[in-house]
Amino acid sequence: MREGFPEGFLWGGATAANQIEGGLTDGKGLSVADCYSFDSKLPKSEWSKQWKEMTHAQVKEAMNKESQLYFPKRKGIDFYNYYKEDIKLFAEMGFKAYRMSIAWSRIFPEGDELEPNEEGLAFYDKVFDELEKYDIEPIVTISHYEMPLNLTTNYDGWTNRKLISFFENYSRVLFLRYKEKVKYWMTFNEINSMIKHPFTSIGVIEEGNRNLMQDIFQSAHHQFVAGALATKLCHEIIPDAKMGCMISYQMPIPYSCNPDDVQLSVEEQRKTLFFSDVQVRGYYPAYTARLFKNLGVELEIQNDDEAILKNNTADYIGFSYYMSTASSSEPEKFDKVQGNLLNNGVKNPFLAITEWGWQVDPKSFRVSLNQLYDLYQKPILVAENGLGAIDILKEDERIQDTYRIEYLKSHICEMKEAIKDGVDIIGFTSWGCIDCISASTSQMTKRYGFIHVDMDDEGEGSLKRTKKDSFYWYQQVINTNGEKLD
């Protein structure tokens, strides 16, 4: 039996370009992420509305150069200028790895150019060099919620097969440029999220769309083929590199032992596992025939697609875990659960919830790890896990985020159990290791970091970085390779 974390375990943190960089300059184009505005005067319940249902009018407004709205993801936490300072802090915590993403729209501002933007490429050279200085392994997501906006407005997003070659070209440019610097890659962040927020993930606007399911699954097919072609290129250009897929898994537990609840939870699980099944096994699982029939989906698949998928599967599975949900065949009897990518889940009475209503369930983290490993027998990277909370910066400059420490501790304990169960876990990159803009609500004050950034929801503040109590706690976790968690 394996005890404890393996040597060389990739402890670290994760962020995404669109939520930290800012730097809408040096040739960077607008991305879908740059369309999200924030207005604190709106009721809180409205703050994630755009995330779920971006409208044509909102996109038009975002493209208006004179717009008076505040678009937080255009500012991020100014990592574009602070990267040296931030990476130094990551190094001080002892990070072995840093999961980050490249902004597609910084490399190809419109997405459809043939030649890349040199200034964009140069920026990531500087970031990778800085990481190397501290021996931090970059784990790079090629596309994390920020495709170039032009691919949405002029091509209808990933419904258009042309995006496969744009993505292939983009990936080739990255592999050729960074082949000496980056060995861990990932294709699409939380690829299954397209079902819940199609604008962010596939550039499809839900409003007025009569064929939404068709568009979503056709886009999924295009992303699968694009991801497989990128995997092929990655292996050809950087033979010692690994390419991972990435899903968000919010394990649906049957609400009760009523067989109807059990059946429903299996169906809900498949809505997520479908995405890893195709990318890890290299073919569409048998259950998709019925799923597509029920949804009225008919995929256009070209001749070579099946071979491309079959021959270029993911080397490892990246996944984000924040919570579980409960599946009930009588959902009207219960309160709905909150969260980013939720299925039709209901509240589980055994679990506590965060300030944003996300259910905290470390035990199902262990179950998920076991389940993914049982299914695929491929190494697993915990690409995201963490707690979004309101932090208070006291006068003595201290932030006592014991709640975050407790959350992470309980999840790391369960990850340790999963390792004892035999699961091959290669790393853990905690989400939002430095405070950043929330993906779903575009707030700044939904903080996940070990490092506080002085900025409020309106983008005001000094941007000063301050270490939280969790900074020192995580430093100790890494120093002891996960042995000392108290």
- For the CB of residue 351, give the shortest distance to ligand BG6 in the complex, in Å: 18
Residue 53, token pair as written in the block = 């249902």
| Among the listed residues 431, 450, 471, 474, the single contact to ligand BG6 using CB under 6 A | 431
> Of 52 and 270, which has the nearer Cβ to ligand BG6?
52
User: Which single residue brings its beta carbon nearest to ligand BG6?
Assistant: 440
Report the residue number, 149 or 173, with the smaller CB distance to ligand BG6.
149
CB of 16 to ligand BG6, least distance (A): 5
Nearer to ligand BG6 by C-beta: 52 or 281? 52
Stretch that binds ligand BG6, among 90-98, 230-238, 344-352, 436-444 (CB under 6 A): 436-444
Alpha-carbon distance of 100 to 79, in angstroms, equals: 11
Span from 180-188, 198-206, 216-224, 437-445 in contact with ligand BG6 (CB under 6 A): 437-445
Indicate which single residue of 446, 447, 452, 468 sits in contact with ligand BG6 (rule: CB under 6 A).
Answer: 446
Q: CA 161, CA 219: separation in Å to the nearest integer?
A: 8
Give the one residue of 439, 453, 477, 478 binding ligand BG6; rule: CB under 6 A: 439
What would the x/- binding string for ligand BG6 be over residues 205 to 244, using CB under 6 A? ----------------------------------------
Identity of the residue numbered 161: R
Q: Does 21 bind ligand BG6 (CB under 6 A)?
A: no
| Shortest separation between residue 436's beta carbon and ligand BG6, angstroms | 7
Minimum separation from the CB atom of position 441 to ligand BG6 (A): 6
Q: Interacting stretch for ligand BG6, rule CB under 6 A, among 88-96, 343-351, 365-373, 439-447? A: 439-447
CA diameter of the chain: 65
190 labelled catalytic: yes
By CB under 6 A, tell whether 340 contacts ligand BG6: yes
CB of 284 or CB of 319, closer to ligand BG6: 319
| Nearest CA among 163, 230, 219, 231 for reference residue 193 | 219
100 has which bridge partners?
140
Q: Which of 384, 246, 218, 369 is nearest to 314 (CA)?
A: 246
Using CB under 6 A as the binding rule, whether residue 190 contacts ligand BG6 is answered as yes
* C-beta of 35 vs 419, nearer to ligand BG6: 35
Query: Is there binding between residue 327 and ligand BG6 (CB under 6 A)?
Result: no
Could you say which of 21, 130, 146, 384 is catalytic? Answer: 384
User: By C-beta, is 416 or 446 nearer to ligand BG6?
Assistant: 446
Least distance in angstroms from the C-beta of 443 to ligand BG6:
8
Q: Which residues from 81-140 bind ligand BG6, rule CB under 6 A?
A: none
Tell me whether residue 384 is one of the annotated catalytic residues. yes
Shortest Å distance, C-beta 10 to ligand BG6: 18
Interaction of residue 440 with ligand BG6, rule CB under 6 A: yes
The reply to whether 189 sits near ligand BG6 by the rule CB under 6 A is: yes
Q: Restricting to residues 140-159, which ones interact with ligand BG6 according to CB under 6 A?
A: 145
Token pair for 156:
């209808």
- 3-state SS string over the chain? CCCCCCCCCEEEEECCHHHHCCCCCCCCCCEHHHHCCECCCCCHHHCCHHHHHCCHHHHHHHHCCCCCCECHHHCCCCHHHHHHHHHHHHHHHCCCEEEEECCHHHHCCCCCCCCCCHHHHHHHHHHHHHHHHCCCEEEEEEECCCCECHHHHCCCHHHCCHHHHHHHHHHHHHHHHHCCCCCEEEEECCHHHHHCCHHHHHCCCCCCCCCHHHHHHHHHHHHHHHHHHHHHHHHHHCCCCEEEEEEECCCEEECCCCHHHHHHHHHHHHHHHHHHHHHHHCCCCCCHHHHHHHHCCCCCCCCCHHHHHHHCCCCEEEEECCCCEEECCCHHHCCECCCCCCCCCECCCCCEECCCCCEECHHHHHHHHHHHHHHHCCCEEEEECCCCECCCCCCCCCCCCHHHHHHHHHHHHHHHHHHHHCCCEEEEEEECCECCCCCCCCCCCCECCCEEECCCCCCCCCCCEEECHHHHHHHHHHHCCCCCCC
Would you say 19 or 50 has its CB closer to ligand BG6? 19
Question: How many chain residues touch ligand BG6 (CB under 6 A)?
Answer: 15
Positions in 302-321 near ligand BG6 (CB under 6 A): 320
Q: Which two tokens stand for residue 67?
A: 């717009």
Q: Which is nearer to ligand BG6, 58 or 248 (CB)?
A: 248
Tell me which stretch binds ligand BG6 (CB under 6 A): 164-172, 271-279, 368-376, 438-446.
438-446
Active site members: 190, 384
Q: Where does this chain bind ligand BG6 (CB under 6 A)?
A: 16, 19, 145, 189-190, 248, 320, 340, 384, 388, 431, 438-440, 446
